[in-house]
Structure 1
Amino acid sequence: MKIPHLAGIVLISTATLGLFSSCASDAKKVKAQTKVTASGDTVAVETEEAEENNMQPVDTAKYNALMLKLANGDTTGKWPVKSKVYPLAGAILPFKRIVVYYGNLHSKKMGALGEYAPKEMWRKLNAEIKHWEKVDPSTPVQAGLHYIAAVASGTPGRDGKYINRMANSQIDSVLAIAKMRPNTIVFLDLQVALSNIKAELPHIEKYLQLPYVHLGIDPEFSMKDGSLPGRKIGTYDAADINYVSQYLADLTKKHNLPPKVFVIHRFTRKMVTNSQNIKLRPEVQIVMHMDGWGEPELKKGTYRHFIYSEPVQFTGFKLFYKNDLKKAPNRLMTPEELMKLKPVPIYIQYQ
């Protein structure tokens, strides 16, 4: 079967254009008190700190029903994904739809997060959230910020890896912006360039230990063959993705965290190889995210060929405020249109 506009499907995200240009946890510690009756009197005895976890176990029947709803009538057997892996308590997906702004504070060209001052950014993102709530009132919206914490660079840097790691002070600023809207979650995104994912994860581990911080990785900038980032499209294999999900699973178990949402950008087949070997874990929720830009029909084709056709777990869809307008009909796809996709994306990113 021919893919329409095949050459156009191999798309570089807006992050490339910017490369070379200038909540408290549900789990908490409380003092436990034991009431003891002695000679008719009640005595309060204070014990050592005990852990109280307010997260409720996942309702598997509701989970199954929501996954079937997301499949949107698909009859091929691909969706919903056949898996007996249920998430641990506190899982966001599929109970809520995540809607985020993406970008970097150092560049106005890499996305709405960074292009606008925080108050203006929140005004715009809140408008998008309200639109989604109106279109799909049965699915609550989880607001989020998706921050590029390691940016593939046009210069080699001190270590020769062509990667610009954001300072902790920058990440702290994003966390502060997130707190302007209660219960906002944050994604830290890694473009590893000539480094590798194993080497880069420890740089942000202290943030991933926070219950409201999640992870994104970008195969576009994983340059395993030594090519410079931005010259060609990179790749991750299922083995890389499984390493990351195990890393996240270990963190959630060690620190008693709710499941981590793990977003993987994709807009070509080679960006993710051997996807059928990706492992699902109760501690991690994997989103295969359609990251290509262009006119609506092109974006739908990219989603169909590279996201729908290789089921993993959940799906996402990116909308570009600028690049999606470059060709006729010069408009963004609407939530109403995205709700017609098979499966319906449960993670929405605006750049």
Structure 2
Amino acid sequence: MKNLNLLLLFLLSLTLISCGSNSGKKISDFSLSLIDSNAEFQLGETLEVAVKNPKNREIDSVQFYFEDHLLEKSDKTSASLQLKDQKLGNQNIQALVYSEGKTDSIQISLKVFNNNPPEIYTYKIINTYPHDQNAYTQGLEFYKDTLYESTGQYGNSSLRKTNFETGEILKKVDLADRYFGEGISILNDKIYQLTWNEGEGLIYDIADLNQITSFKYNQSKEGWGLTNDGEKFYKSDGTEKIWILNGTTLAEESFIQPTTHRSISTQLNELEWIEGKIYANTYQKDGVAIINPKNGAIEGLINFKGLRDKVTQHPDLDVLNGIAYNPNNKKIYVTGKNWDKLFEVEIIKK
């Protein structure tokens, strides 16, 4: 797959630079059109695409690609694809048109939505624990029954090791004033902490919370939420993309776009990996999305409306933000920015 992607990128760049009629000096004589469609599809449907050739140039062959995969069901100037397990969101069909000794690279945009609406869930409070009211919670994660937390705000960001049952801060590391702390994730005895606008993540030894090193963001400009599946990281940045990072190099290798049956979501903030799914809260909202990490489908929505009303009301109180799953007891905990309570909750299907 990686070799195919590299080959495709090489071919596309080669045609753009050297021989294509759309190399920047002239608009291509060809274009793509979607047959009988307004460029919006759902899984299960079939898309059909064709090359438009108004100048009747002699076409030798055409190669069609979706998600960098070569489409097999194609003839000389058209192709079709039944959407089954493809990634959702904003996508493109690309085509390489070989004609009269030249190669043109053309594409057309489309949207792919899930074929089912998300299941709707509510919650039940099982237990309530104290939480530092001064913690502007950005990231929350359990490791061996101990809760780790990242807090934000310039000049007040930190990484914390806490006793979630008592609210006691066992160890606290303050970030430099130039950093705005964001999401965290723990993998292979290391804590990975994002910063917001600094384009940099920080890596700590979990044993003593000493910073070991740092890493730079690649294509994404901001750091919001972070989680992992035991091998790869998933990183939100406020856009419609959740980036998939190499667990060793931290390179952003691909992405998914959280998508329902009719919309593509943005502003997804704190992330948590729970039983094979990504749980993500939407910034400034009371909802948490349950996302399929393979294609981005939003399969469920949890409505946490009313939870904020159950904490102490004060001037600095802010939004829901903070989801933690303890795999040892299979329990889910949530809190928010400057909330004085941490809630153990049961998720209930409506």
Tell me, yes or no, whether TM beats 0.5: no
Query: Which bin holds the TM-score, normalised by the shorter protein?
Result: under 0.3
- In the superposition, the TM-score normalised over structure 2's length comes to 0.24
More strand by share: 2
Flag the structure with larger Rg.
Answer: 2
- In the superposition, the TM-score normalised over structure 1's length comes to 0.24
